[in-house]
C-alpha cells in the first residue's frame, strides 16, 4: 500500500470515528431527553393521582355526613309511621320489617316516637310525609371519567374499587328513588284529600289534625311508607359501608 493510500484510509477512519462518536452523542441525548420527559410525566401523573384521590376523599366524607342524616330521617319516618299505626290500632303495627340492618334491629318500635321526641301526634304525621333523599357527590369521579384521567390512578385494584363503588352507589340511589317516590306521593295525596293537611307546609303542624283516628284508608299507606323508609335506611347503610371502606383504602394507599 502506498503512503498516499495509507493516509487516505486513516483520514476516512478518523472521519468515521468522529461521525460514530457524534451519532452516539445524539442518540444518548435523545434517550436522556426521553427519560426526562418520562420522569416528568410520571411525576405529573403522581401529583394528579394524589390530587384526585384527595378530592375523592373529600367527596366521600361529604357523602358520609349526608348518608347519616338520610338514614336518621328514614328511621324517623319509619318510626313515625309505626307510632301512627299503633294509634290507629292497626293489627299489623308490630310487623316492622328489619331488612338485615343492625341499626334497625336495635330500635324498639313499640316506644311511641312522639313520646321519645316529646312532640305532638300531628308532627308525626308530618314526619311520616318527609322523605329525605341522598344525592352522592361524584363531581371528581365524573371528571376522571370525562377526561380519561381515571388511568392516573396507578393502582389497578384501587381504580377498580373506585369504579365499583360509584357504579353500585348509582344503582342503589336510582333504586331508592324509584321505591320511595310512589308510596310517599300516595300518602301525601291521601292526607291532602282526606284532611286538607298540607304535608309540605311546616306551619300546618300547629293546626288541629281533623279525625285522624277515622281515616280507615290510612293504615295501608302508613305500612307502605314504613316499609319503604326502613328499606331505604338499610340500603343507605350499605352505601355508607362501601364509602367508609373506600375512604380507608385510599387513605392507606396515600400513606404507603
Confidence band, pLDDT 50/70/90 cuts, at residue 193: confident
* 182 has a pLDDT exceeding 90: no
Alpha carbon distances (Å) from 195 to 45, 191, 204: 62, 6, 12
Q: Which of 92-101, 159-168, 196-205 has the lowest mean pLDDT?
A: 196-205
CA–CA separation, 198 vs 204, rounded Å? 7
Whether 97 maps to a domain, the answer reads: yes
Query: What is the spatial distance between Cα 191 and Cα 88, in angstroms, rounded to a whole number?
Result: 15
Average pLDDT, the chain: 81
Is 36 contained in some domain? Answer: no
- Among 87-91, 128-132, 134-138, 163-167, the range scoring the smallest mean pLDDT is 128-132
Whether 105 maps to a domain, the answer reads yes
Tell me the three cell numbers of residue 144: 376522571
The 3-state DSSP class for residue 211 equals coil
**pLDDT number for residue 39:** 56
User: Which grid coordinates are listed for 211?
Assistant: 279525625
Return the minimum-mean-pLDDT range out of 36-50, 65-79, 241-255: 36-50
Residue 12 has pLDDT above 60, yes or no: no
Has residue 20 been placed in a domain? no
The pLDDT of 99-128, averaged and rounded, is 84
Mean pLDDT of 214-242: 89
- The answer, yes or no, to whether residue 35 has pLDDT greater than 70, is no
Please report whether residue 116 resides in a domain: yes
C-alpha cell of residue 59: 367527596
Q: Which residue has the cell 367508609?
A: 244
Tracing cell 284529600 back to the chain, one arrives at 193
At 7 the pLDDT is 54
Q: In this structure, is residue 39 part of a structural domain? A: no
Q: What is the pTM of this model?
A: 0.79
State residue 131's pLDDT score.
81
Predicted confidence at residue 41, as pLDDT, reads 60
For 225, the grid coordinates are 311508607
> How many C-alpha atoms does 28 have within 13 Å on its Cβ side?
6
Q: How far apart are CA 66 and CA 137, in angstroms?
A: 10
Residue 58 lies in a domain: yes
CA pair distance 14, 91, nearest whole angstrom: 107
Half-sphere exposure of 23 (CA within 13 A, CB side): 6
pLDDT-derived band of residue 143, with 50, 70 and 90 as boundaries? very high
Are the C-beta atoms of 109 and 24 separated by less than 8 Å? no
DSSP for 110-168, please give it: TS-HHHHTT--HHHHHHHHH---------HHHHHHHHHTGGGG---HHHHHHHHHHHHH
Does 18 map to a domain? no
| Residue-number span of the structural domain to which 206 is assigned | 45-254
pLDDT of 89 over the 60 cut: yes
The answer to whether 183 and 221 have CB atoms below 8 angstroms apart is yes
Q: Are 55 and 140 in contact (CB under 8 A)?
A: yes
The number of distinct structural domains making up the chain is 1
Amino acid at each position: 500500500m502506498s503512503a498516499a493510500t495509507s493516509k487516505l484510509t486513516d483520514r476516512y477512519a478518523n472521519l468515521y470515528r468522529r461521525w460514530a462518536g457524534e451519532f452516539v452523542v445524539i442518540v444518548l441525548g435523545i434517550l436522556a431527553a426521553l427519560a426526562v420527559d418520562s420522569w416528568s410525566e410520571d411525576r405529573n401523573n403522581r401529583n394528579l393521582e394524589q390530587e384526585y384521590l384527595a378530592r375523592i376523599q373529600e367527596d366521600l366524607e361529604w357523602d358520609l355526613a349526608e348518608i347519616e342524616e338520610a338514614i336518621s330521617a328514614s328511621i324517623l319516618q319509619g318510626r313515625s309511621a309505626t307510632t301512627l299505626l299503633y294509634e290507629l290500632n292497626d293489627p299489623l303495627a308490630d310487623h316492622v320489617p328489619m331488612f338485615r340492618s343492625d341499626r334497625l334491629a336495635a330500635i324498639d318500635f313499640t316506644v311511641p316516637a312522639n313520646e321519645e321526641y316529646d312532640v305532638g301526634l300531628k308532627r308525626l304525621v308530618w314526619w311520616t310525609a318527609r322523605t329525605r333523599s341522598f344525592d352522592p357527590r361524584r363531581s371528581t369521579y365524573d371528571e376522571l371519567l370525562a377526561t380519561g384521567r381515571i388511568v392516573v390512578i396507578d393502582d389497578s385494584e384501587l381504580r377498580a374499587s373506585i369504579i365499583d363503588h360509584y357504579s353500585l352507589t348509582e344503582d342503589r340511589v336510582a333504586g331508592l328513588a324509584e321505591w320511595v317516590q310512589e308510596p310517599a306521593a300516595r300518602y301525601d295525596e291521601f292526607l291532602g284529600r282526606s284532611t286538607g293537611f298540607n304535608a309540605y307546609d311546616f306551619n300546618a303542624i300547629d293546626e288541629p289534625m281533623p279525625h285522624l283516628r277515622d281515616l280507615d284508608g290510612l293504615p295501608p299507606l302508613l305500612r307502605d311508607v314504613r316499609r319503604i323508609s326502613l328499606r331505604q335506611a338499610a340500603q343507605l347503610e350499605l352505601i355508607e359501608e362501601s364509602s367508609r371502606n373506600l375512604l380507608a383504602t385510599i387513605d392507606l394507599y396515600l400513606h404507603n
